[in-house]
Amino acid sequence: MLSRRELLASSLAAAVLPTTSRAATSSSRPRRLIYVFADGGWDTQVCLEPKFSAPDVDGPWVDENPNDPEDVEYERTFGDYSVALNDRKRPSVTSFFDAHGSRCSVISGIWTGAIAHDTSRVRILTGTQLSTNPDLNTIVGAVNGAELPLGSVDLSGLSLSGSLAASTGQVGFRSQIATLLDPERSFPAPESSKLTYPQWLPHPDDEEAIRAFLRSRTEAFSAGHTDGGRNDQRIADRLESMTRAERFLREGSSVVDSLVPGERPSLERQLSLGVDLLERELCSSIMVETTAHWDSHDSNVSQHGFYETTFSGMNFLASLLDERGLADDTLVVLISEMTRTPKLNTRQGKDHWPHCSALLFGAGFPTQRRFGGTNDYVESERCELSTGEVTPSGDLLKYDNFMAGMLAGLDIDPEEWFPGVVPFTGWIG
């Protein structure tokens, strides 16, 4: 039976926030990708998977303060998908969907088949079980950004580059790239050392001599160890990485001036830097991380604050893309490696659950749609991979189907990267 507050929530949603009709974007494929990762396993019931009528789900309403009339959870619907909102606890989530809900869709019930963080993260990033394989960010960059200084840039510290490492750049978890591009910038010295860093600065001639030496050594290896296979590929990768690094140094080093060596970039700083990189065509794909610690075993109430911070960043990103004229050819994917259990544990937290959902924002897909689904236990339901329609005769939407479908939607042949895997194409316009 619904409580008074739940009845109030549903009435408020119906009276004040009416259902929005379904719409669709252009069928053209996006050229750019922004992959926003919520590391640690978010609770999708707090936003993307509202289960207000499910008796075996402890949704966000269990955290409502009965003495605060404004602390109310309610559901708002956009065409086929709905979200859970709370204007008191998560106002940035409300403001994002107020402004951009009609431009979004949700992919529900992506099955990861694992509850360990590392295993699930590898599966949802690469679409495989191997951390030595490249992730979506890196593949998209290598293909769509082949002619750019860098194909992709990782601002999260979590991207997996695999065999495509030569095409990608990494900012570093503590902004290490700032010290590599500008020798006068360095990590702060320990206070107890009484030293001032940097203690030595190379002359530009020294740096040029080092680059020339490395290039000549690589070319010498190429002449002496060619084999028409692995050796040639590794040497080619080395030359490519050097060429890309030199191009980025010439064309894009000023973009990272705002980074502070030793500090982890905030979500907004990552997004600002990433959009700058995309706009200046220094890369075609970026990966960022929300910086929240989503692994809420001991207190699931913390998820409200994590969503607030994340969607504050999403509001910022949406404004940036609109201002820079990038919204029409950029796909934004917001995702985590798993969700949380339907019920609270004895510590008022939630444990790992091997299913996840993604929010799509930007270009290249029909909007106001829910593709796939979950049942009342937040478990992945079977669906038609070609349409996203839930049906008992369909297939589980597994991590490999999801990743192959992402590539197809970005106009990249998934068969080359996931041979034999049926891509989930239901989300593609």
Per-residue pLDDT at 231: 83
The pLDDT of residue 218 is above 60: yes
The ranges assigned to domains in the chain are 4-114+289-417
Which of 17-26, 133-142, 173-182, 266-275 is predicted least confidently?
17-26
Mean pLDDT across 256-264: 89
Of 226 and 270, the structure prediction assigns the larger pLDDT to 270
Packing angle, helices 399-409 and 136-144, rounded to 10: 20
What would the mean pLDDT of 205-232 be, rounded to a whole number?
Answer: 84
Name residues whose C-beta falls within 8 Å of residue 246's C-beta, 6 or more positions apart in sequence.
211
Q: How far apart are CA 174 and CA 224, in angstroms?
A: 39
Residues 236 and 158 sit within 8 Å (Cβ to Cβ): no
pLDDT score of 183 more than 70: yes
* Residues of the chain above pLDDT 70, percent: 93
pLDDT band at 196 (very low <50, low <70, confident <90, very high): confident
- Alpha-carbon torsion (89, 9, 60, 357), positive or negative: negative
Top mean-pLDDT range of 3-17, 187-201, 278-292 = 278-292
Q: What pLDDT is attached to residue 168? A: 96
The pLDDT of residue 158 is above 80: yes
pLDDT beyond 50 at 15: no
Tell me which residue has tokens 């917001």. Answer: 334
Tokens of 276: 């700058």
Per-residue pLDDT of 323-375, as tens digits, reads: 999 999 999 999 999 999 999 999 999 999 999 999 999 999 999 999 999 99
Instruction: Give the per-residue pLDDT at 191.
Output: 85
Q: What is the pLDDT confidence band of residue 17, given thresholds at 50, 70 and 90?
A: very low
Inform me whether the pLDDT recorded for 184 exceeds 90: no
176-202 average pLDDT score? 87
- Each residue's pLDDT tens digit, 272-305: 999 999 999 999 999 999 999 999 999 999 999 9
**What is d(CA 121, CA 199) in angstroms, rounded to the nearest whole number?**
39
- pLDDT tens digits, residue range 227-248? 878 888 888 888 899 899 889 9
Helices 302-324 & 267-279 angle (0-180, nearest 10): 20
Average pLDDT over the chain, rounded to an integer: 91
Q: What is the pLDDT of residue 1?
A: 40
